[in-house]
Structures are given as C-alpha cells and as structure tokens.
C-alpha cells in the first residue's frame, strides 16, 4: 500500500447542484472532472471537504466512523463559505453506496478506507469575487490506507509559533483547503530551520492547534485543551477522545492557556495531536525561541497510548460501541 492518500478505489460518488436543487447522485468510474477555467473554486477558493474512515471487521461487514457528525460538520463548512449546503440524506446515501461497492477493497484493521467528500463551487464567473457560487459539485473519494503508526508511534517535534495564526478567526472551524494552504508556508519554513514536524500556532499567547490537528495535554487524571471556538477545527477525534477519557475517569479541562503555562505543563504532562489519520500522535519535544524543550522524557506517553487504543478498539470492533459512533453499511 502506497503513501497515505495516494491510492484510490476505481469509482467515486458525485452529484451536482444546479437550478437551485441537488440533482440525482451517481456512482461513476474514477476519472478527471471536466471543469470550466472560470469555475468559482479556481479563483475564489469556494471549497470544503471532510475526512473520515470506514473499517472492515473480521465478520466481513463495514462500519463508517461518525458519519452523521462529519456530514453535519461539512454542512456547517459549506454554510460558512456560502456554498450550497449538501443534503444530509443525499450525502449519506452517496457515502454508503460507495463504501458498499468497495467493501472488498477495505483493508483489515488497523488499516481502513479513508473517505473524502469534497464540495466545490462551479459557477462560471470570474467577476464573482464578492458573490457566492450558486452552482456546485459534490463528490466522494475512497482511498484504502494503511496503519499510520506502522513501525511504531514516533514522538513528534513542534515549533511554538507565537506571532501568526493558522487561519482567520471566522474560518478556523471551517474545513477548507485555504486553511491548510495558509499553514503550509510556516510549517515548511519551520521544518527547514528547526527540523520540526509541525507548527503549534499560539497567536496572542493563545495555544491553539497545528496546521492539521488539535492539541491536547494529558496527565494520569486530566486532559487540558483549548475550548472550541471559531479559530480552531472542531475535530471528531478530539471530541471522541474527550468523551472516552471522561468515561475512563479523566477530568476534562477545556480552557485557554498560555505558552508559559504550556511549557510548565510539559514538565509532567504528555502532549498529543489528534486527528483522523493518526488518531493520537505523541509529541516528544517543543522548540520555543530557538530552544528545544522535552515533553516529559521525550517519548510517547502511556496515557496517549491508552486513549488511542481505547478509541481504535471501538473502531476495529474489539470493544462495544456504546456511543453509537459506527454506522453499519448494508
């Protein structure tokens, strides 16, 4: 299996929004999309997406993780960009039909089928900089992916960025490509200068998140993380981990904290990034104003590993889904 996100199933689900209505969705062979050069998405970045996984258990059945929640988040993203909001039933049917067609292509756990619904504005108008796209295309890609931690979970190194934000205040919670593009330059510069893996954005002394993941501090009995607002992504893995942790006896402390507090926390707390691809990724070091600071002993911590396993056991069918997070594919 190739690099994460580079292999695809041979069909996609697709539907178009035209004449103020969603048309009939289709499952079609994977192929380039015909697009007019004046399409709104090319000029004014009218696009959003989701990312989640389907798992195939030993009984041969497929289960999609938190499908309704991801669809609801995509609807919120579309509304924030003033794109036609996907119909929940239509998008649910597209995902279910596509996964059902490719059940045999889903690798067994810990591998999975990564699903990428994408919405793009297709109005042919290069003069519409201050107007929404009234036409759109919604499609779903399916990509078999391997275990993110094949070979072991290596602790990451993060640069603490105190000047710049990952996104704009109003679009931080929108899952749009522009946010990832905005974080790319600072991340590449930090990798080249400091040898880090990611940048932890902390504008105005507010510890937020990295370019693609929420950030958590974890002790034996507490999790500290920034509360949800419009500046950060409302991550499903973050939400899942917090719910699981609360039921496992951890105190959940959602509050703003400063860089100085962060540097004090990591003397005794574990740090981790949460996201769909890697679930929980341990953080072993921080770089602050040119100085490298170890997070505890610099290794993946036991609480991070315990919480990651608890979540993945549900996803892989090794523990009961008492939260109703899994949707079975008929």
Tell me, yes or no, whether 164 and 305 share the same domain.
Answer: yes
Alpha helices in the chain (DSSP H): 40-44, 67-80, 88-101, 177-194, 236-247, 259-265, 302-315
> How high is the pLDDT of residue 78?
98
> How high is the pLDDT of residue 209?
96
Tell me, yes or no, whether 173 and 282 share the same domain.
Answer: yes
Count of domains forming the chain: 2
Domain termination site, one of 119, 145, 171: 145
Q: Which domain covers residue 298, as residue numbers?
A: 156-315
Model confidence at 152, pLDDT cuts 50, 70, 90, reads low
- Inter-residue contact 67 to 95 (CB < 8 Å): yes
Q: Please say if the pLDDT value at position 291 is more than 70.
A: yes
Tell me, yes or no, whether 119 and 249 share the same domain.
Answer: no
Q: Please say if the pLDDT value at position 265 is more than 70.
A: yes
Give whole-number Cα distances, 194 to 111, 204, 209, 258, in Å.
Answer: 32, 22, 18, 22
Q: What CATH number corresponds to the domain at position 183?
A: 3.20.10.10
Model confidence at 7, pLDDT cuts 50, 70, 90, reads very high
Tell me, yes or no, whether 40 and 113 share the same domain.
Answer: yes
Q: Please say if the pLDDT value at position 289 is more than 80.
A: yes
Identify whether 29 is part of a domain.
yes
> How high is the pLDDT of residue 137?
98
Per residue in 216-235, pLDDT tens? Answer: 999 999 999 999 999 999 99
Determine the Cα–Cα distance for residues 5 and 7; give it in Å rounded to an integer.
Answer: 6
Domain termination site, one of 103, 119, 145: 145
Identify whether 98 is part of a domain.
yes
Tell me, yes or no, whether 179 and 101 share the same domain.
Answer: no
Tell me, yes or no, whether 199 and 72 share the same domain.
Answer: no
Tell me, yes or no, whether 161 and 282 share the same domain.
Answer: yes
Per residue in 55-98, pLDDT tens? Answer: 999 999 999 999 999 999 999 999 999 999 999 999 999 999 99
Under DSSP, is residue 178 helix (H, G, I), strand (E, B) or coil? helix
> How high is the pLDDT of residue 320?
97
Identify whether 329 is part of a domain.
no
- Inter-residue contact 77 to 176 (CB < 8 Å): yes
Per residue in 43-62, pLDDT tens? Answer: 999 999 999 999 999 999 99
Per residue in 241-264, pLDDT tens? Answer: 999 999 999 999 999 999 999 999
Q: Please say if the pLDDT value at position 149 is more than 80.
A: no
């Amino acid at each position: 299996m190739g690099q994460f996100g580079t292999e695809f199933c041979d069909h996609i689900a697709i539907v178009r929004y035209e004449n103020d209505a969603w048309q009939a969705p289709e499952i079609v062979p994977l192929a380039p999309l015909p697009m007019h050069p004046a399409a709104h998405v090319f000029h004014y970045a009218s696009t959003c997406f989701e990312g989640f996984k389907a798992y195939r258990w030993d009984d041969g059945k497929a289960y999609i993780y938190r499908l309704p929640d991801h669809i609801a988040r995509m609807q919120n993203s579309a509304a924030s960009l003033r794109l036609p909001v996907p119909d929940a039933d239509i998008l649910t049917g597209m995902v279910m039909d596509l996964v059902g067609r490719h059940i045999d292509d889903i690798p067994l756990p810990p591998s999975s089928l990564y699903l990428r619904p994408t919405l793009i504005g297709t109005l042919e108008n290069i003069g519409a900089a201050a107007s929404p796209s009234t036409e759109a295309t919604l499609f779903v890609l399916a990509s078999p992916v391997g275990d993110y931690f094949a070979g072991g979970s290596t602790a990451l190194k993060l640069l603490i960025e105190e000047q710049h934000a990952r996104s704009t205040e109003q679009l931080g919670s929108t899952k749009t490509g522009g946010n990832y593009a905005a974080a790319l330059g600072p991340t590449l510069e930090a990798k080249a200068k400091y040898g880090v893996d990611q940048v932890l954005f902390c504008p105005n002394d507010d510890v937020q998140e990295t370019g693609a993941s929420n950030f958590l501090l974890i002790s034996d009995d507490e999790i500290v993380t920034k509360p949800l607002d419009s500046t950060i992504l409302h991550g499903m893995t973050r939400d899942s981990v917090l719910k699981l942790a609360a039921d496992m006896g951890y105190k959940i402390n959602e509050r703003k904290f400063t860089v100085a507090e962060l540097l004090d926390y990591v003397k005794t707390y574990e740090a981790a990034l949460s996201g769909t691809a890697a679930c929980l990724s341990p953080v072993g070091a921080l770089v602050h104003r040119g100085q490298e600071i170890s997070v505890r002993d610099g290794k993946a911590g036991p609480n991070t590993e315990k919480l990651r396993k608890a979540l993945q056991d549900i996803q892989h069918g090794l523990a009961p889904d008492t939260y109703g997070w899994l949707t079975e594919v008929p």
